[in-house]
Structure 1
Amino acid sequence: MMRSLHTAAAGMTGQQFNIDTIANNLSNVNTTGFKRNRADFEDLLYQTVRTAGTPATEETLVPVGVQVGHGTKVAATQKLFGQGSLQNTGNESDLAIAGEGFFRVQQYDGSFAYTRDGSFKIDSNGQLVTSQGYKVIPEVILPEGFIRESLNVTQDGRVFVNLPGQDDPIQAGQMELVRFVNPAGLQAVGENLFTVSAASGDPIAGLPGLDGMGQLQHRFLENSNVEIVREMVDMITAQRAYEFNSKAIQTSDSMLGIAATLKR
């Protein structure tokens, strides 16, 4: 059986995965803090018909070998943590990170997760939480009776509010950020959250604006870093590659048909 049938089929499978990745990027074009994925590919094993350097005569060697490839496979899907554009929302509980870093949140089971989504909410206890109700760590608990419109978060993460009858604001908390040596190694778990993996390294906590951390932008949100034009171009490229591989299968099938009709 012709190798090209299986080789082209591997190419079609790879391009289907590429389209799946692009579709996920496009579906999250309006997801706050979303980071686009990129599919990386590598070639499969080669069948070596003749090894380079094989003696041709007693005095000469074959300068190049003969190898036949067997297609492609997905090597990795990488998160690209480029900065998304910042959008002014005017909402007093919205925060965006301008630069490197993640917010740390505590899930219901007590474990920690990390996010770039700063669309926080204030629960009935005056605590800053995510849309799923996960607590922001370090905890920020606003005092009872505070004036909501007075909430202010500085670029270095200090949280200030005013109380009725008082002119001077009081500090209600201090935001922290977390960064990683290899953020691309984080495990995406949905809900705009990431968890630590062996590849990401341990979290490094710090104050916004210090030690390589980004600064906070109050009343802003970070948009997805998906660029629609780039994704559409990548989609067209993947579609054509898929089509070319299908043509290779059709050509191989036609060649087999010719061979099957040979007569003496």
Structure 2
Amino acid sequence: MQTGYYSAAAGMVTQFNRLDTIANNLANVNTAGFKEDNLVVGDFMRIFKEARDELPNANHSEDGAKFLNRAMTKAPQIVDSYTNHSVGNMQATGNSMDFALSTEGLFFAVKTPQGVRVTRDGSFTTDDEGRLVTKQGYEVLSQEYLNDGKGSIIFNVEDSILEVDKNGQLYANLPGSVSQGPGSKLLIVQPENINLLKKDGDNLYKYENINQIKNIEESGAVRQGFVEKSNVNAVKMMTQLIETNRLVGMYQKAMSSQMDDMNNQAITKIAAKG
């Protein structure tokens, strides 16, 4: 069995998975609130660093070297994935329905047919009934949701002036008056463990136990008239894209050498001896 061929094939599959992740990041470089995804590839150096102090042989002698040599034949593979939740740049839009969160780990809560989801994308609008919704039409929740399970944020036709403070409190003009009064308050939440969030499409995240999401009363993070841009670094992604394409070519060449050159040499030598 040609171990090198199968290791190269597995390495190529790993790079294909990296290409998918990089392509998705680049496709969302202009998506508001999008967070960059990354993969962790298991290789020999990582295995060595984890195992060198826990080898099965205390003297780290010839037997220990054999242990590490066996580890070298392990094919590179995706061992973990994670999302970079750092805050993206704030872009001023001047739209009173656009909101951004300036603190990492905070999210807006929205209601979807599949249940409550969270998002960093604060590019909101209103539907035909005057409810505050996302661009996809999902209802943006207010803090009243915690009490009555509804939590709709509805604007009247007369609500021509809308202001939101840094904690998400909405203020609209009072009917027949030039002054403003408090209305609903945006539901700003923070997961207990941000690593448990799973992307669920439409720039939304799913949290398995929604009851473990904490309501942040005084977040001080809401910025009206701004949107948070994607935190994807396009230059870094393009560099990774070039690197990954080169690795695919290298693995392909290694596979070709294993199957063509080495086999031809073996066949030639066997034929010559015969």
Normalising by the residue count of structure 2, what TM-score does the alignment of the two structures yield? 0.82
Query: What SS does the corresponding residue of 2:256 show, helix, strand or coil?
Result: helix
Give the Cα separation in 1 of the matches to 2:231 and 2:89: 7
**Which of the two has greater strand per residue?**
1
Cα 1:21–1:143 shift into 2, 3 Å: closer
Q: Is the 8 A contact 1:80 1:184 kept in 2?
A: no
Give the Cα separation in 2 of the matches to 1:240 and 1:103: 40
Give the Cα separation in 2 of the matches to 1:179 and 1:222: 17
Map 1:33-182; keep pairs closer than 5 Å. Answer: 33-43=33-43, 53=57, 62=63, 64-65=65-66, 66-67=69-70, 68-100=72-104, 101-109=106-114, 111-138=115-142, 139=151, 141-148=153-160, 150-182=161-193
| Aligned alpha-carbon RMSD (Å) | 2.5
Query: What SS does the corresponding residue of 1:190 show, helix, strand or coil?
Result: coil
Could you tell me which residue of structure 2 aligns to residue 259 of structure 1? Answer: 266
Q: Is the 8 A contact 1:182 1:201 kept in 2?
A: no
| Unaligned stretches of 5+ residues in structure 1 | none
Query: What SS does the corresponding residue of 1:9 show, helix, strand or coil?
Result: helix
Letter of the aligned partner of 1:64 in structure 2? A
Identify the range of structure 1 (116-125 vs 224-233) with the bigger mean alpha-carbon deviation: 116-125
Letter of the aligned partner of 2:234 in structure 1? I
Cα 1:143–1:258 shift into 2, 3 Å: closer
Give the Cα separation in 2 of the matches to 1:163 and 1:61: 83
Could you tell me which residue of structure 2 aligns to residue 195 of structure 1? Answer: 206
Give the Cα separation in 1 of the matches to 2:194 and 2:9: 33
The Cα shift of 1:43 comes to: 4.4
The Cα shift of 1:116 comes to: 0.5
Q: Is the 8 A contact 1:6 1:70 kept in 2?
A: no
Give the Cα separation in 2 of the matches to 1:201 and 1:39: 29
Give the Cα separation in 2 of the matches to 1:38 and 1:222: 20
Give the Cα separation in 1 of the matches to 2:203 and 2:20: 19
Give the Cα separation in 2 of the matches to 1:11 and 1:201: 41
Give the Cα separation in 1 of the matches to 2:267 and 2:58: 36
Identify the range of structure 1 (178-187 vs 94-103) with the bigger mean alpha-carbon deviation: 178-187
Identity of aligned residues (%): 31
Letter of the aligned partner of 2:190 in structure 1? R
> Is 1:205 the counterpart of 2:215 in the alignment?
yes
The Cα shift of 1:257 comes to: 1.4
Give the Cα separation in 2 of the matches to 1:246 and 1:143: 59
| Unaligned stretches of 5+ residues in structure 2 | 48-54, 143-150
Cα 1:94–1:83 shift into 2, 3 Å: same
Q: Is the 8 A contact 1:53 1:64 kept in 2?
A: no
The Cα shift of 1:242 comes to: 1.3
Could you tell me which residue of structure 1 aligns to residue 247 of structure 2? Answer: 241
Q: Is the 8 A contact 2:14 2:78 kept in 1?
A: yes
**Which of the two has greater helix per residue?**
2
Letter of the aligned partner of 2:11 in structure 1? G
Query: What SS does the corresponding residue of 2:257 show, helix, strand or coil?
Result: helix
Cα 1:167–1:52 shift into 2, 3 Å: closer
Letter of the aligned partner of 2:268 in structure 1? T
Q: Is the 8 A contact 1:15 1:242 kept in 2?
A: yes
Could you tell me which residue of structure 1 aligns to residue 146 of structure 2? Answer: none
Could you tell me which residue of structure 2 aligns to residue 9 of structure 1? Answer: 9
The Cα shift of 1:108 comes to: 2.7
The Cα shift of 1:19 comes to: 0.7
